[in-house]
Amino acid sequence: MEEKTAAERIARHAHAEQVDLQGKPYVDHLERVAKAVEAMGGTPEMVEAAWLHDVMEDHGYSAAQLLGMGVSGAAVRLVEILTHDSAYSYRTYIDFVVADKEARRIKLADSMDNLARNEELAPDVAERYQKRYLGNIKAIYKAMIGA
């Protein structure tokens, strides 16, 4: 069995008690996103950031804490980009994320995983999230092709 990275250990600890909207362990989502990023040819730092993409926003970790816990500077930079600052609209946040080629690949994997499980949600919630995730994917696609 492959040894866990610092990023995976931190994510598993931080999200240990958290469940998703379907009541399933949230860490399963993080693992799927990390696997997807790796399958898309992501760098090790991108995979680290995939594991940690919600740890600042959901649990208040700082960049300094992550660096001090052994996470690479490149991964921390991506986690900072992927963290939605509530001072900005969601649309502005997505525009910021898609401007970075590595961050947008992580956000694509995140949005695709969320969308793939959307049918498990109540219809009204599913509709709202479907609009969000499809919007993310559309913005990422446009950035990728320069549209």
Domain that holds residue 95: 6-145
Flag whether 83 is in a domain. Answer: yes
- Could you tell me if residue 1 is inside a domain? no
d(CA 11, CA 1): 18
Residue 106 domain-assigned (yes or no): yes
Q: Is residue 103 domain-resident? A: yes
Distance CA 49, CA 133 (A): 19
pLDDT digits (tens, 9 = 90+) for 72-131: 999 999 999 999 999 999 999 999 999 999 999 999 999 999 999 888 888 888 899 999
In a domain, 93, yes or no: yes
Which CA distances in Å does 25 have to 18, 19, 20, 79, 108? 6, 5, 6, 21, 21
Report how many domains make up the chain.
1
Flag whether 133 is in a domain.
yes
Residue 106: name the closest of 83, 134, 85, 132 by CA: 83
Burial of 14 (0-12, 13-18, 19+ CB in 10 A): buried
pLDDT at residue number 1:
37
Provide the 8-state DSSP code for 118. G
The pTM for the full model equals 0.93
Whether residue 18 contacts residue 58, with contact meaning beta carbons closer than 8 Å, is answered with: yes
CA distance 49 to 31: 11
Q: What is the mean pLDDT of residues 2-10?
A: 87
